[in-house]
Structure 1
Amino acid sequence: MNKETSSDSYGRSLRSSSDLHRHTSNDNHGNSVHSSDDQDVHVFTGHDDAMQPATRELSRTQTLLNKVSSRISFFNERLNAERISLSWKVLGIYGIMGFFILAIFSIYWGSIYRREYRYKNLRMLVVIEDEDTVNGIAPIIGETIRSILATPPAMALGKWLIQNTTEFNALAQRHNNSVFEEIQRQVHHQHYWSSIYVPRNATVGLYEAILAGDVSYNVSANTAISYYETGRDFLSMNQYVTPNVQRIQSMFLRHQQNITSAILGNSDLSQVFNNLNSLTVAATPMEWTFMDGRPFKDPVLLAPSQVGLIYMIIITFFSFNFFSDIHQSVAKMGIKIPHLVLYRILSAILSFFVISFFYSLVTLVFQVDFTRTFGHSGFIVYWMTNFLTMWAVGAMNEAMGMVFIMLYPPLLGFWMLFWVIVNISPTFAPLALSAKFFRYGYGMPIHASYEITKVIFFNTYKGALGRNYGILVAWCVIASVLLLVVFKKFGQVMGGRAAAQRAQIEKELNEKRARDEEGEIDFS
């Protein structure tokens, strides 16, 4: 019994040894490997790839557990150096952000600061023709307005430039105008923000209307007329200019009772009190007539005239991001450098041309009248103006975008803020109400575009069109040249960085390959 059992065990052992010998072979190095038809036997060769799947999974699990168990507290003493380094980096970032926030936002805040103290910079045309005594009636209306404008409260509301009537009449005659037509011309040519005109013999006219009981007499138009053009700056006119003239009118109305008493001082008052019509004329408020030569009628114009100009700058920045992949693909084609530079400039200009069309189309869709100044060509003029504006601000965006990518990419957002604020700060309010520093705005592209837009939509004075288009073209040239220079430098810098990265990757791969070769176990 024992012999049979021992014999069977010995036979099974021989068969197992024979099967193992049949299913294994030696490689050139003497290492034992699997045959292709049997995966049940695994022989360790010194490589991780030769480990059983279960063994590899166990190894990874143990490694993960080791990592978790080896994590330490952020406040561990061993991390003191790292904490200090990170703290300084955070403080440095806060310092950079704080500096640019204070520097950039202060520009816009500064354009609004103490604006109410600069009303005296607003030039106001005053022509008082009621200055002669007629039939014993003194020019009380003209004298009252003149005296009011000389008071400190009135002088704080504007720069009231009272004209010599003789000289102003001569000026009107040179332009074949009446006095009031010349006032309109002066305001339209933007020599003055608004005007006050007191007609000739205004006091005598009111006196005679009261005595005659002439209820058809227009007390308002024959007392004073204020002519202005809201289209010159539709927000500022309604916010600063016209309200200030109305305050002068309010000062004048407080003197109406004294004016009426002085006018009727030497007349028979019984004749007035016994005539109801005379009392009606005498009691009529001497409110002035306000004439708006370029009224603001369509609220939609607020979008393309002001807020839309901000969006225009932002859109050009989007274009830079959208086309970056295409530009990189073209750069990898291996074309000649001059051709690559030419492509870069022309592609940017083409983008501004197309995008400006869609931007302009939005205003057309909302039925804004483009025919007021240039007829049916108004939309084309508007589109080309937007094209030049986008070219000017967009090429600068692209050039500076590449500059900051080379230097410090996080600053790119602050460049956008700066470029928007430095353009709109001297644009959305009269420069006369801002500090002298903001006169740089006369040369900015958005300010020039804004002035042209007002001509298109409101038919304001065209005399500055040439200057404003010249400013836009100059910015287009400057920005394009800058883009050309920066693009060449950008290619060199980024090419150098790419080469350095490739070299670093190759170095790391070589080091890893060397470590792997050192880790091999030779069983020969």
Structure 2
Amino acid sequence: MSEDNSELARIYSTLSIQPSVVESMQPYIGRSSQDTEKGNSGSDDIDDENEKTETSGAPLSRQQTFLQKVQSRYSFFNENLNEHRKKLYLKFGMIYLTMAVGVLAIFSIYWGSMYGRNGRIQNLNMLVIIEDDTTINGIPPLFGDFLKQVLDTPLARARGNWHIFNSTEFGQIAVENNNNIEQELERQIHHQKYWSSIYVKPNATWNFYNAIITGDTGYNVTNSSIVSVYETGRDFMNMNLYITPSIQAVERLWLGSQANLTDTLVQHVNGSALSQAGAINILATPLNFVYYDRIKYTDPVLVAPSQVGLIYMVIITFFQFNFFSDLHMAIAKTGMHKHHYVLYRIFASVLSYFVLSLFFSLVSLAFQVDFTKAFGKAGFLVYWLLSFLTMWAVGAANELMALLCILVYPPLIGFWMLFWVIINIAPTFTPIALSPEFFRYGYSMPIHNSYEAAKVVLFNTYKGQMGRNVGILIAWVVLLTAATPFVIAFFGKTMMKRAQKAAKEEAEKKKKKEEEEEEAESGGV
């Protein structure tokens, strides 16, 4: 037996196995399978084997073997674990219930903003100006009349809320603003009173009739009739999804009625004039709309800072809370005056938002986003200011809610982040007119106002609402910053109470244990 042991020890030494491991295995070296099975049958057998080993002079191991450890464990379904299993099932159930409620409640906000959207396209305000509204030399204003008929169809009414003006009505509005009709049309679109427009030019029918009877080959049918003016920069994602398709739907209806229009007009034309090649070409030319986009979307990189970047802005403000949490705890333990600590926390957060917003803006600058369209060279600074105010607003909310979630149930922080992102973007990335009335709360949300203000810098859209957008951001900053001292004080007080309670419970346990040990000693004596 000793020779076998020394040989096995030499092999283990070659394999770099520690001598202690060899020693711990020696009591079991050389056993037969029958002996091993016998040793596994109970503690008495193991003790007998150990006694034999001691008698034979072999070293005795006090370490528990892996097999013994396995045999000392309970099966998951052992009746001794019934109570533990019940607690485990209950805990799993509560966690799944919490997550299910969070998912259903929070995601429903975003899904709800899109639900039934096609049925609300009719809420989009559209401007229609018909200057072809008078009869000239017996020729009726067929262009204007037929367009009115088209807009009165159910399909057209489902594609927008059409505000129709004749030349007299809209002319008065134009005079009040010292504009002619075309200038006032562009002003109304730029000031975002309407999403898009349809403009029937003056005497469109008469000019069309004259071109037919004269065979005017220089007459441009399309440019002389109907124009649609809009600004894609107002909402460059949804303009091509909802606004322009609505105008195009009306255009298709209009083209479908062209045969009736020309048939009616031909009745006023001398038959000999219709034999001219120029007249035939004019009659065969489709009366398409002319589309005039005053603010075009030409740079795809703008999707990043205008939409997805706003989501990242909310998330990155939470990063600063995580990154600085250890430092804030260390500062809190220095014994700093409470008021000074609160001021330190506010200043540290604001400084973080200032720095983060700078680098957030520099990313767009690095990818050659043009910041000069509305404010010239100062455009980048304006954009940086907007990013700073936005980060301050959403970041302060993140920080305060994180503190409260830690007190209640720390895993809720993740669902808070989802809620804060979704409740901000749901009324932002789509026209509020296309969502249920509930989503009008979006007019007060920081991300919505940041998005609207940023479009002024990036696209040179209407500046008239920028003051309101910035004012709402500042209001969020003031309210949340004012709430910070109270939340920090509540958090610190609550955590201190919990620490004192835990220390008290630990002291009681220790005292009870000491008393039990003393009783045991006195009983033994």
What amino acid is the match of 1:470? G
Q: Cα–Cα, structure 1 residues 478 and 58, in superposed 2: closer, same or farther, change >3 Å? A: farther
Q: Tell whether the 8 Å contact from 1:352 to 1:391 is kept in structure 2 after alignment.
A: yes
Q: Does the 8 Å contact 1:445/1:472 carry over to 2?
A: yes
CA displacement at 1:514 relative to structure 2? 7.1
Higher Cα radius of gyration: 1
Indicate if the aligned counterparts of 2:128 and 2:199 stay in contact, CA closer than 8 A. yes
- RMSD of aligned Cα (Å): 2.3
CA contact (8 A) 1:389 1:472 kept: yes
SS at 1:409 equivalent? coil
The residue type equivalent to 1:248 in the other structure is V
Give the superposition deviation at 1:120.
0.9
- The corresponding residue for 1:265 is 267
Residue 507 (structure 1) shift: 5.2
Q: Matched residues in 2 for 1:502 and 1:361: separation?
A: 49
Amino acid at match of 1:142: G
The size of the alignment, in residue pairs, is: 467
Q: Deviations over 1:40-62 (max 9, x none)?
A: xxxxxxxxxxxxxxx99943427
Matched-pair contact (CA < 8 Å) for 2:132–2:203: yes
Distance apart, 1:277 and its partner CA:
2.1
Residue in 2 that maps onto 1:328:
329
- With 174-183 and 423-432 compared, the bigger mean Cα shift is at 174-183
- TM norm structure 1: 0.85
After superposition, the C-alpha distances for 1:406-432 in whole angstroms (9 at most, x for unaligned) are: 110011100000000000000000000
Instruction: Supply the distance in 1 between the matched residues of 2:512 and 2:68 (Cα, whole angstroms).
Output: 25
Identity level (%):
52
The residue number in structure 1 matching 2:159 is 157
Aligned counterparts of 1:212 and 1:477: Cα–Cα separation in 2: 70
Structure 2 CA distance, aligned partners of 1:272 and 1:56?
123
**Hey, what's the Cα distance between the residues in 2 that align with 1:219 and 1:518?**
110
| Contact 2:110–2:426, Cα closer than 8 Å, also in 1 | yes
State the distance in 1 between where 2:223 and 2:484 align: 58
Q: How does 1:116-515 map to 2 (within 5 A)?
A: 116-273=118-275, 275-506=276-507
Between 1 and 2, higher relative CO (CA 8 Å, sep ≥ 6) is seen in: 1
Once the two structures are overlaid, the 10-residue window that deviates more, 413-422 or 495-504, is: 495-504
> Which amino acid is 1:180 matched to?
E
1:94 corresponds to: 96
Change (3 A) 1:298 1:467: same
Instruction: Kindly provide the amino acid, as one letter, of the partner of residue 469 in structure 1.
Output: V
Check conservation: 1:396, 1:483, Cα contact below 8 A: no
- What is aligned with 1:28? none
Compute the displacement of 1:511 (Å).
Answer: 6.3
Q: How far apart are 1:384 and its partner, in Å?
A: 0.4
Provide the secondary structure at the position in 2 that maps to 1:234: coil
One-letter code aligned to 1:219: V
Give how far 1:191 is off.
Answer: 0.8
Q: Which moved more, 1:69-78 or 1:95-104?
A: 69-78
- Alpha-carbon distance between aligned partners in 2 of 1:67 and 1:489, rounded to the nearest angstrom: 48
Deviation at 1:453, TM superposition (A): 0.6
Structure 2: 5+ residue stretches without partners: 1-57
CA distance in 2 between partners of 1:56 and 1:187 (Å): 96
Q: What's 1:20 paired with?
A: none
In structure 2, C-alpha distance between the alignment counterparts of 1:387 and 1:81, rounded to whole Å:
53
Q: Secondary structure of the residue that 1:119 maps to in structure 2?
A: helix
Q: Secondary structure at the match of 1:372?
A: coil
Alpha-carbon separation, structure 2, partners of 1:516 and 1:363: 70
Query: Take 2:104 and 2:150, find their aligned partners in 1: how far apart are those partners?
Result: 43
- Is 2:133–2:166's contact at 8 Å kept on the other side of the alignment? no
1:60 and 1:514 mapped to 2: Cα distance? Answer: 32
Unaligned ranges ≥5, structure 1:
1-54
- Give the aligned residue type for 1:295: K
Structure 2 CA distance, aligned partners of 1:131 and 1:164? 7
How far apart are 1:81 and its partner, in Å? 2.2
The one of 109, 112, 128 aligned to 2:111: 109
Distance between the aligned counterparts of 1:432 and 1:312, measured in 2? 25
Contact 2:212 2:273 in 1 (8 A): no
Say whether the 8 Å CA contact 2:131–2:166 is kept in structure 1: no
- Secondary structure of residue in 2 paired with 1:161: strand
Residues 272-312 of structure 1: CA distance to partner in whole angstroms, max 9, x if unpaired? 22x22222222111111111111111111111011100000
Query: Which residue type is aligned with residue 267 of structure 2?
Result: G
Note if contact 2:143-2:205 (Cα within 8 Å) is conserved in structure 1. yes
Q: Is the 8 A contact 1:396 1:480 kept in 2?
A: no
Residues 10-89 of structure 1: pairs in structure 2 closer than 5 A: 58-61=61-64, 67-89=69-91
> Structure 1 residues 195, 516: CA separation in 2 closer, same or farther (over 3 Å shift)?
same
- In the TM superposition, residue 517 of structure 1 has moved relative to its aligned partner by 8.1
- Alignment check: 8 A CA contact 2:393 2:476 kept: yes
What amino acid sits opposite 1:382 in the alignment? Y
Provide the C-alpha distance between the structure 1 equivalents of 2:375 and 2:485, rounded to a whole number of angstroms: 36
Contact 2:215–2:273 (CA under 8 A) maintained in structure 1:
no
Q: Which residue does 2:30 correspond to in 1?
A: none
Q: Indicate if the aligned counterparts of 1:121 and 1:433 stay in contact, CA closer than 8 A.
A: yes
Corresponding residue of 2:32 = none
- Name the CA distance, whole Å, in 2 between partners of 1:407 and 1:56: 57
**1:514/1:59 Cα in 2 relative to 1: closer, same or farther (>3 Å)?**
farther
Match for 2:262: what amino acid? T
